[in-house]
Amino acid sequence: MNIGLYVHIPFCQQKCFYCDFPSFAGQENLQGAYMAALNKEIFIQSGYNYNAIDSIFIGGGTPTMLSEYMLSSLLEHIYKNFNVTKDAEVSIEANPGTVDENKLKVLFDGGVNRISFGVQSFNDDVLIKCGRIHTALQAQESVYQAQAVGFNNINIDLMYGLPEQSVEIFQQTLQQAFTLKVQHLSIYGLKIEEGTPFYQWEAEGKLKLPDEQTEDEMDVLINKLLLKNDYIRYEISNYAKGGYECKHNLKYWHYQNYLGLGAGAHSLLYPQRTSNVRDITTYIEKINNNELPIATNTMLDKNAAMEEFCFLALRTAKGMNIKKFTEFFATDFNGLYGGKVKALIEKGLLQQHGEFISLTAGGQKYGNVVFAEFLL
């Protein structure tokens, strides 16, 4: 089976106040050395004769902080060293304000066919409170520029539950996104992560967030307006026009193999899961010493793998394939989980349709309650 490829670019102009991803601001001086090391890791890993790659995701950080030359060189190294299928989905994350038509054309001509803009909101006040560096106008302009270059598979990331964000402000953001006629929307509720400025400010009582009722109203609004505008919810936080589901992310949710390259990147080559070192300087040093920059290397326990298989598949609208689970793990699903599934169906949190089980609307709202029942 084909695999996915994730490539991590850890540089940011400014760390957003809610972000706990392995990304770093103020280290632009390391970009040249990092990209040389990353291209070398690509070459080293290509010697392991992986299956063909049919999805690539270049994430961050902010990959589009890199120069046109660095981006072009990265894409060239990927295509030169790996067997990338002709119909591969090739995505890159971009922040508005870090791209122009020239850079977008370099990406498009280099083989990128899907671009994901981290917009989060079309309200400037909300953006400032989140530590974003772009304006609403810049976000709109970036999408228009990408469309002008030739991109016809564009995602916009949005967030709700943000500081001082009202239902009305969030509705305006959704309406603005619809006017841009993009093919995909990812919409995430804010989660306060330890170690972030938001976490500290919340502990100090300085973070004013919408209450639970307001967040519920936002969630209702999402499902109502996206359906009205022909976006299909195919995963808890992701909506797409027909045929524009993100193939790379579907690999994660369907427990398929993927290789991660770059500082902080993770790989799943079942039953082996690995992660690279997060620190940029350490990553560069290891590669320059001809070492793989592995931080953790774990052979997955079968029970843990079965739990994760269920959690991830149940995030999708289609749900989990019982037959596939049984074949993958050589374990009878109904013998293991049948009683729990029946109880969740009776509570209205799960539904069964043929060989699939999936979350109901109530199950999506109380997903953690459902997922807890699949712990072994």
Give residue 296's pLDDT.
98
- Look at residue 133 and tell me whether its pLDDT is greater than 90: yes
Pick the CATH number of 302-372 from 3.40.190.10, 1.10.10.10, 1.20.950.20, 3.40.50.300: 1.10.10.10
| Domain-wise residue ranges, the chain | 3-253, 302-372
Question: Rg for the chain (alpha carbons), in Å?
Answer: 21
- Look at residue 164 and tell me whether its pLDDT is greater than 90: no
- Look at residue 244 and tell me whether its pLDDT is greater than 90: yes
Task: Please tell me whether the peptide bond between 271 and the residue prior to it is cis, using omega within 30 degrees of 0.
Answer: yes
pTM: 0.96
CATH class as words, domain 3-253: alpha beta
Element housing 199 (H / E): helix 197-203
Strand ranges inside the chain, DSSP E: 3-9, 11-12, 24-25, 53-60, 84-94, 114-120, 154-160, 184-189, 232-235, 238-240, 258-261, 266-269, 272-276, 294-299, 320-321, 350-353, 356-359
What letter represents residue 108's amino acid? F
Mean pLDDT of the chain: 96
Give residue 191's pLDDT.
94
Task: Examine domains 3-253 and 302-372 and report if their fold is the same.
Answer: no
Give residue 22's pLDDT.
87
Confidence category of residue 212, pLDDT binned at 50, 70, 90: very high
Q: Name the nearest CA neighbour of 23 among 246, 193, 187, 188.
A: 193
| C-alpha span between 169 and 190 (Å, rounded) | 15
